[in-house]
Chains A and B, each alone.
Chain A
Amino acid sequence: MGWIAGQPAETVGPAVRVARAAGLYVFRRRVRRVGWPLLFVAPFFVLYAVFSLYPIGFSLWLSLRDWSFTGPARWVGLANYRVLLHDSLFWQSMLNSALLFLIYVPAMTLLALVLAVLLNSRYVRLQGIWRTLIFLPYIMSGTVAASFTFQLLLDRNAGYANRFLHFLGVSPVPWLDDIWWSRISLGMFVLWAWLGYNMLIMLAGLQAIPPELAEAARVDGAGPVRIFWRITVPLLRPVIVFAVTLSIIGTFSLFTEPLLLFPVAGGPAHAVQTPVLEIWQTTFQYLRVGYSAAMSWIYFAVIVVLALTQYFLVSRRDRYLQVRG
């Protein structure tokens, strides 16, 4: 708005006055064009500054201090981070999340893709009903109610999972009481909750692919399996990257499930202790506020590194195959 500043102070003639009036008109229009939209988007930035940016800075401040909610916070420099490097329980929780990711994500991605392809094909009837049934657990995803329901379902004696295995002639499985089975149970629980959601995302991606592509391949003699791997999967790569990125953040952020699915929080021998559960316990049970703040920063850094690595590994070839919805 340089035309306001630096106006000559001497008396001016009518022409200049008209020019100024015109300037004022332009200024009003600018306010109309810039002021309103800024006002409309302002609530987000105000709330974000107060309830997220400030706490982020506060968290960094806390991570350099020793504090237990009361009394003064004592400056300790990088000591929290140094101790954290050798905190085997914390790294165990990161490893648990990584293992869960490896159990859950390949199964989820493949199943969601296959289901989406099936529900996108003309040959499957009652698509709406299948879609609704598979998506239904979304409404209970990550809930206390679902965790307890699965706790009972997977109970070694009372649960129906073992009852079902017995019916098939398989011996009972310690779903919640064994280190590896508890990880698999948690993976299955998360799969139950999120498969339908991921299927929908991929279905949306599929619907954005022009059907002529598969048609052309079919005319050229490609079978359905070949079409799936050579056309569908490469074209869906951006959507798959999106789903996997969400899953990285999701598996590393699990809290309710590892706290409540197992008779003991974190599962047998901390087998499913997750970073967020560790942060919560460190803060509210052990009252080590500064230490837990340091934890949350390392945890954040690891997620960012994983998400970026995945992005560059998987999406490098996208440039040639961009699909836009």
Chain B
Amino acid sequence: MTLRSDHLVRLAVYLVLAAVSAFMVFPFVWMLVSALKPFPEIFAGTHFLPQHWTLHNFSSFFHQANAARAIWNSFFIAASSTALSLFLCALGGYGFAKFRFAGRNFLFAFVIATLAVPFAVIVVPLFVMMRNTFHWVDTPWPLIVPWAANAFGIFFMRQYMLSIPDEILDAGRVDGASEPRIFLRIVLPVCKPALISLGIIVFIASWNNFLWPLVVLPSPSHWTLPLVLRSLQGPPGRTPYDVLMAGSVISTLPLVVGFLLFQRRLVSGIMRGTVQG
């Protein structure tokens, strides 16, 4: 390869990367600038940047009866699911990674196999159970409890825990520490990087969840942010995009901030959690 063509190839590579990145980032920018435009400007569609910058759309969003409450509901549900899920998945991953017992491989294969069952198969009967047996409709529990110990999280934590040397655990046992104590005092601290990665993944999934909250939270006072956003949609041609975009910015902003803070952990978590094994 000559020097010239090498330069051309490199230029082409950077152009491709820049084009793909622009495609990825543009909708975020579009959402933000649309949220800062008055309604007529959104529909004129003539200027990309707002001609008259305004925060009015955000105050309109908060004047929606349930907006502030929905932020709290979303946060409460996502935070509790994340905490509970991290604890139970770490526990399960530890059981599978660091102990030998009869039936272990079979049980673990079963855990993985459960990933193949799509949610759509159980959504209706589960809703009926929630309503008639548990009386959990319009409570946060159906969004926190059923998948607190899930196959993905257990698999994810097990992968990480396989790399913990047995010697550390045995040292704890020799010192007379009980098994729960070893888990809490030795295993959990060692797994902190994996817990952070999994925590971000679980939090994002819970915060963004839509189908299941839509089914089990019929009353507006219990809605999460995605449900409030959805309720703003009008019949074709009558959707208040200004308020909708402001609400979208509010529901995305926490994730963008978290992403920028923890993106290394998230990226390494996804790369580690999906391929190995």
Chain A residues engaging chain B, CB cutoff 8 angstroms: 32-34, 36-41, 43-45, 47-48, 50-52, 54-56, 58-59, 62, 69, 111, 114-115, 118, 123-124, 130-146, 148-153, 155, 157-160, 163, 192, 195-197, 200-201, 203-205, 207-208, 239, 242, 249, 252-253, 255-256, 260, 263-264, 275-276, 279-280, 283-284, 289, 292-293, 296-297, 299-300, 303-304, 307, 324-325
- Assembled-state Cα–Cα distance A256/B151 (Å): 23
A-B Cβ contacts below 8 A, count: 269
A-contacting residues, B100-138, CB 8 Å: 100-102, 104, 107, 111, 114, 116-126, 128-129
A123 to B97, CA, bound (A): 39
* Neighbour of A158 across the interface among B42, B117, B122, B210, CB < 8 A: B42
Q: Given known contacts A55-B122, A123-B10, is B117 in contact with A157 (CB within 8 Å)?
A: no
The listed residue (B10, B17, B34, B211) touching A276 by CB distance below 8 A is B211
Please give, as numbers and ranges, the residues of chain B lying within 8 Å of A324 by CB-CB distance.
276
Q: How far in angstroms is the closest Cβ of chain A from B52?
A: 16
Contacts of B277 in A (CB 8 A): 325
B77 within 8 A of A: no
Which of B204, B233, B256, B271 touches A148 (beta carbons < 8 Å)? B233
A56 near B129: Cβ-Cβ < 8 Å: no
Question: Contact: A51 with B145, CB < 8 Å?
Answer: yes
B residues in contact with A148, CB < 8 Å: 229, 233, 239, 241, 244-245, 248
What CA separation (Å) do A264 and B210 show in the bound complex? 18
Let me know if B275 and A242 touch, CB within 8 A. Answer: yes
In the complex, the chain A residue whose C-beta lies closest to that of B256 is A139
- Tell whether, in the assembled complex, residue A47 and residue B149 are in contact, meaning their CB atoms are under 8 Å apart: yes
User: A40 and B27: CB pair below 8 A?
Assistant: no
Query: Are A140 and B271 in contact (CB-based, < 8 A)?
Result: no
Chain B contacts with A in 137-193, Cβ cutoff 8 A = 145-151, 154, 179, 183
Assess the A145–B247 pair: CB atoms within 8 A. Answer: yes
Residues of A within 8 A of B125 (CB): 54-56, 58-59, 62, 293
**Are A40 and B95 in contact, CB atoms less than 8 angstroms apart?**
yes
* Majority DSSP secondary structure for residues of B touching A: helix
Q: In the complex the two chains form, what is the Cα distance from A135 to B21 in whole Å?
A: 9
Would you call B146 and A51 a contact (CB within 8 A)? Answer: yes
Tell whether A145 pairs with B17 under 8 Å between CB atoms, given A140-B255, A163-B45: no
CB–CB A38/B101 < 8 A = yes
Instruction: Identify 22 residue pairs between A and B in the complex whose beta-carbon atoms are under 8 Å apart, listed by A's number.
Output: A32-B179, A40-B91, A44-B149, A44-B151, A56-B122, A58-B128, A118-B13, A123-B10, A133-B21, A139-B256, A140-B252, A142-B210, A144-B251, A145-B249, A148-B244, A151-B239, A192-B27, A205-B275, A242-B274, A252-B118, A289-B128, A303-B118
**Does the CB pair B245–A149 fall under 8 Å?**
yes
Per the CB 8 Å criterion, the residue count for chain B at the interface is 91
Are A142 and B208 interface neighbours, CB within 8 A? yes
Query: Is the CB–CB distance between B24 and A280 below 8 Å?
Result: no
Asked if residues A160 and B267 are in contact (CB atoms below 8 Å), the reply is no
Report yes or no: B101 in contact with A145, Cβ–Cβ below 8 A: no
Which residues of chain A have C-beta atoms less than 8 A from B13's C-beta? 118, 123-124
The chain A residue with its CB closest to the CB of B173 is: A32
Interface centre among A115, A160, A192, A289 (most CB of B within 10 A): A160
Taking the closest CB of chain A, its distance from the CB of B178, in whole angstroms, is 9
The chain B residue sitting closest to A189, CB to CB, is B27
- B20 beta carbon closer than 8 Å to chain A: yes
In the bound complex, CA of A307 to CA of B104 (Å): 26
Query: Does A325 contact B276, Cβ atoms closer than 8 Å?
Result: yes
Residues of B within 8 A of A196 (CB): 24
**A115, A149, A158: most-surrounded residue (chain B CB, <10 A):** A149
In Å, the complex CA distance between A207 and B275 comes to: 11
Chain B residues with CB under 8 Å of A195's CB are 20, 24
**Chain B proximity of A132: nearest CB distance (Å):** 5
Query: Are A149 and B248 closer than 8 Å at their CB atoms?
Result: yes
Given contacts A41-B96, A253-B120, A296-B120, contact A201 B274 (CB under 8 A): yes
Interface string of B235-277 (1 = CB under 8 A from A): 0110101001101110110011011000100010011101111
Which residues of the partner chain A approach B249 to less than 8 Å between Cβ atoms? 145
**When the two chains form their complex, are residues A136 and B210 in contact, meaning their CB atoms are under 8 A apart?**
no
The answer to whether residues A204 and B271 also contact, given A41-B92, A152-B34 and a CB cut-off of 8 A, is: yes
Give a binary string over B196-218; 1 marks a CB under 8 Å from any A CB, 0 the rest: 00000000100010110001000
Cα–Cα, bound, A249→B267 (Å): 22
Residues on the B chain within 8 Å of A52, using CB: 114, 117, 122, 126, 146
The 9 closest A-B pairs by CB, nearest first: A40-B95, A37-B99, A145-B248, A325-B276, A51-B146, A204-B271, A58-B125, A263-B236, A55-B125
Q: Which of A36, A44, A324, A325 has the most CB of B within 10 A?
A: A44
B8 on the A face (CB < 8 A):
no
A170 to chain B, nearest CB (A): 16
In the complex, the answer to whether A299 meets B118 with C-beta atoms within 8 Å is: yes
B229 touches A153 (CB 8 A): no
Min CB distance A324 to B, Å, is 8
Inter-subunit contact B270/A300 (CB<8 Å): no
Q: A157-B43, A208-B275, A253-B119 are in contact. Are A145 and B263 (CB under 8 A)?
A: no
